[in-house]
Chain A
Amino acid sequence: MELTRRKFVKTTAVALASAAAAGTMATMAGCAGEPAKGGAQAPAGQGDVTRTVGVCRFCGCGCGVIVEARDGRLVSVTGDPENGSNRGLNCVKGYYLASALYGDDRLTTPLVRDDKATKGAPGGLREATWDEALDLVASKLRETWKADKSRLAFWGSGQQPIVEGYCTAKFWKAGLLSNNIDPNARLCMASAVVGFMNVFQTDEPAGCYADIDEADVFVTWGANMAEAHPMLYSRLTARKLADDRVRHYDLTTLRTRTSASADKVLMFKPGADIAIANAIASYLVENNLYDKAFVADHLQFKQGTENIGNAFEDGYDASETGQSVDAVTSITFEEYAARLAPYTLEYAEEVSGVPAADIQELAEVFADKSRKVLSLWTMGVNQHNRGTWMNHCIYNIHLLTGRYARPGDGAFSLTGQPTACGTAREVGTFSHRLPADLLVAQEPHRRYTEAIWSLPEGYLDAIAKPGFHTVKMFRELSKGNIDFLWSAHNNWAVSLPNLTRFLGRGDKRGVIDAFICVSEVYPTLSTQYADVVLPAAMWVEREGQFGNGERRTAVFEKAVDPPGDARWDLWMLMEVAKRVLAGEQIGGKDAFDVLFGAWYDPEAGAFRGTDREVSRAIWEEYRTFSNPALNEAAAAINESAGLKMEAKQLAPYDLYIDNHGLTWPVREVDGEWLPTLWRFCDGPQADGFDEQGVERYGEHDRAGGVSFYKSAGKRPSVVFRPWEPPAEIPDDEYPFYLCTGRLLEHWHTGSMTRRIAELDRALPEALLDVNPADCERLGVKDGDRVRVTSRYGSCDITVSTTGRTAPPEGIVFAPFFAEETLINLVVQDVYCPLSKEPDYKKTTVSIEKI
């Protein structure tokens, strides 16, 4: 612990020194020896170099960057040496980030499609004025809204900056009284979210990146961190190099670059991870190797609905099984142990293919309390037909052994996108959420939200029922049941599963008939299906905020103006909201004014202030959710309903800029705002522990020095979840499992990174990694073109046997960044019944040479 504290104090000192030195953007320029002209709000135009603080546009690591601009153009983006997480370094994507803004084909003018028959191909869009485009979008939205609210939808993103996501959720939920809003985070983090809610009743990781520096053993579950979280993997590797006793176990279905540097690889058959996790838990219980004090002080045990089938059919959610998937009942520890008993090491070996001795070795690692164990996981666990269950199973092991919420000893769900936490999860752009973890279905949550949004009491009762989750949204769209769709900060026509259906290449043509508005920075496959394309300001062309995987909120300052007529997404939203809500009232007052009047002047068509002032104003309203003392009515509801809203307390806006990001909850102590690194862990707030939270809501001196004060009865739930097979099992017709994922050089669908010449050169094509023995059977070799076919669709791709990922026989891997390959034509849209997150890892396919 001493080490931890020293390190933290050092980090804090760096952050504070940096805050003092940085202060404002203008001083930053001074630091660089450049004249302090212009500033974040007014990029210089006379050849001066401005320096602004930012955070990388790409993955969930959230690396800090310093942005240099001259004459309205970025000249460099470099790692922020003051950022405690990346210390001036980046991966190759971040290194070339500046070029992402300057692809040849930036969208700079609104575009309108006159003939829906031209959808699905380049062309068919003509230039339009902003007024024409906005009038068209608003009139279609208003028309749909007035006719049938269930037929409109917004699809957002874990890349949408925080205040923009907040306003979008507010417009959709309070302005339109619609819950048909969901983010692409449904495709990556939903299983983690439902896991967090089920186990802890709070959606957040307890740990932070500094846990990596403290751990003695790393266990990666379904996570290719070496490629998908490059700088965090550098941190993990540094920890290994610092102490040769540190071990890394990699649990995976195929050998990856992460496996390449792991000390031991446990390669399991797809879907069998739950059997392995249960066998570990069973071994710990059976052999009395669990932490009895921790169990007694902190845990409760449950089991839930089982044999839940798979969501093949559109009607799954409404089916009897679908309706029962969330049900759980309490059981005793002994009953839990009895449920685990069948999961012997031998049974786990039979199901998973991993030798029993290896599973036992890992179980012994968890049993050894002299060492700290950190589990890390991503899409292999979340994009899983039992993704929520697998999240449970990892927590079960860590909770049984008292390894949770303690420095270096924890279970850490990594996020994939820059603000999947900050926006999608924290401000509530999900179909069932309100800001700050609140749920539409909970009456006190609606009352609380109404108080902060100045809505009449009961106003949000109209949205008590959750809307369409992502797959449901696009399934309904494909069937012609959605008339209006607006998407922003995503490229759904490449990233969704089952694109054969959703792009109208099968018998369902809804995507052609619906009115679709796409806010974008470049032409993408999604804009080929758009009726209107709104050209957006990109990254530092406006001010924005991201919340990364360790609860760290950070601001990226505006550095340059957007090109041509491209505009801030928030402006588009305000202009559409203004038109749609024209003449509408909330509680006898003008609806737009109630919702957005504080920062937007609808008459002038302009914000009331600079990007900074507007962001600050919105943030301060949002921050009220976690600072109820700022709103008397909200404070009363928080008290009477026991909401504990301060538990996720956020700080005033400017502190995030001054400190280059802060991890919440941020606590005010003697006028100073202190971040929290280790949630629920008792200890001095100044050292990064959750002193204030534990003091206010929890209990001191409990086992492990932690107190789970957000959990029901202060007891997280260990829920027994059985192993159930994947949705599809390979057979003679479809003998292979197809797994898809991300690779280091490209971000998601490549719409930005493929326009960076250096990254396009580095990885120009998507390849299908195939085991050489399978190649021999198929009569194909490295470099051959093949057709991959599933029950859903097919695509053509080039085979590789060179081994960047080296799948075992029976499994193939392809990345999803390449629009020309479009692997998602093949991928199933079956999802975890609890989280509704699709399983991108286990579609069964056939492969034939073409």
Chain B
Amino acid sequence: MARIGTIAAVGAATLLAAVAAWEGTRPPAALLRPPGAGEPARFDARCIKCGRCLEACPYQAIHVAPLAAGVAAGTPAVDARAQACRLCPDFPCIAACPTGALAPVEGRAAAAMGTARIDEGLCLSFKGMRCEVCYRACPLIDDAITIDYRPREGDAIHAVFAPVVHEGRCAGCGLCEQRCPVSDPRPAIEVVPTGFA
């Protein structure tokens, strides 16, 4: 099933690439790229929209940027809320990339896809609820995300378990965003892709 889906996706990618060639004049969208993509300009210059990284991803986390992405249509992207990158220890997507658009990285933390950002107004943990789903879901738990235990104002018998994202240690995989129970109006934690901070 996955294989058929991938072939279809690759076919679509080729088509989209063709369409995008004449359609895309819009500014680049803030797309979350697969591991190893690095700065947008570097990646954009190397990606040939071949679709091999899509095929290599065991989680079907990489999809083709849609037509609406303008010039980026047809390039590989990750919709973290739908299916985050799982930071495979051996990075099959990077291994499959023929051009170095996805460049080899040293370890999971170096995937450098982006950095998660918490909306403290939406976050349940900041309200004093015991949630911290993002923290426990993080593949780099106690490193990329830690808990800042804080007193709760006006309440001597509860603490606030505030999740804190550490820039530079967050790989931007988006698993926190995928798992966050909040969705109205949007997840309380979202990944800002590298190059779009």
Contacts and interface: CB of A to CB of B under 8 A. Distances in A.
Contact of B130 (A92, A261, A782): A92
Nearest to B140: A802
A762 B86 CA distance: 15
B58 interface: yes
A261 B156 contact: no
B90 interface: yes
A783 B175 CA distance: 14
Given A87-B157, A213-B157, A802 B129 contact: no
B155 interface: yes
Interface stretch (A232-240, A556-564, A683-691): A232-240
A567 B152 CA distance: 42
A250 B149 CA distance: 18
Contact of A238 (B129, B158, B179): B158
Given A238-B152, A242-B156, A89 B128 contact: yes
Nearest to B158: A234
A98 to B, nearest CB: 13
A233 B161 CA distance: 10
Contacts of A744: 130, 132, 136
Interface residues of A, number: 38
A761 B178 contact: yes
B141 A802 contact: yes
Interface in B140-192: 140-142, 147, 149-152, 155-159, 161, 178-183
Interface string A214-253: 0000000000000000110111011111100000000000
Given A87-B155, A257-B136, A762-B133, A234 B161 contact: yes
A783 B88 contact: yes
A400 B133 CA distance: 41
A443 interface: no
A233 B129 CA distance: 12
A117 B155 CA distance: 57
A75 interface: no
Contacts of B64: none
A804 B139 CA distance: 9
A759 B180 CA distance: 9
A234 B152 CA distance: 10
Interface in A752-790: 758-759, 761-763, 781-783
Interface string A81-111: 0000011011110011000000000000000
B116 interface: no
A803 interface: yes
A260 B158 contact: no
Interface in A776-818: 781-783, 802-804
Contacts of B136: 257, 743-744, 804
Given A92-B124, A761-B178, A783-B86, A238 B157 contact: yes
A745 interface: yes
A375 to B, nearest CB: 19
B165 to A, nearest CB: 16
B131 interface: yes
B181 A759 contact: yes
A86 B150 CA distance: 17
B89 interface: yes
A96 B10 CA distance: 40
A91 B88 contact: no
Contacts of A238: 151-152, 155-159
Contacts of B150: 241
A237 B161 contact: yes
Contacts of A782: 86, 88-89, 139
Given A261-B147, A781-B89, A763 B179 contact: yes
B20 interface: no
B131 A804 contact: no
Interface string A654-675: 0000000000000000000000
B138 interface: yes
Interface string B79-91: 0000000101110
A781 B58 CA distance: 13
B122 interface: no
Given A238-B151, A238-B152, A783-B86, A92 B141 contact: no
A23 B58 CA distance: 58
30 contacts: A87-B157, A89-B130, A91-B131, A92-B129, A92-B130, A230-B130, A234-B130, A234-B158, A234-B161, A235-B157, A237-B161, A240-B159, A241-B151, A241-B159, A257-B136, A744-B132, A745-B133, A758-B182, A758-B183, A761-B179, A761-B180, A762-B133, A762-B137, A763-B137, A763-B179, A781-B89, A782-B89, A803-B141, A803-B142, A804-B136
Interface of A: 86-87, 89-92, 95-96, 212-213, 230-231, 233-235, 237-242, 257, 260-261, 743-745, 758-759, 761-763, 781-783, 802-804
Given A92-B133, A744-B136, 16 more contacts: A89-B129, A92-B130, A213-B157, A234-B130, A234-B159, A238-B151, A238-B155, A238-B158, A242-B156, A744-B130, A761-B178, A762-B181, A763-B179, A783-B88, A802-B140, A803-B142
Task: Rank and list the top 9 A-B pairs by shortest CB-CB distance, nearest first.
Answer: A230-B130, A758-B181, A91-B130, A237-B159, A92-B131, A762-B133, A238-B159, A802-B139, A234-B158
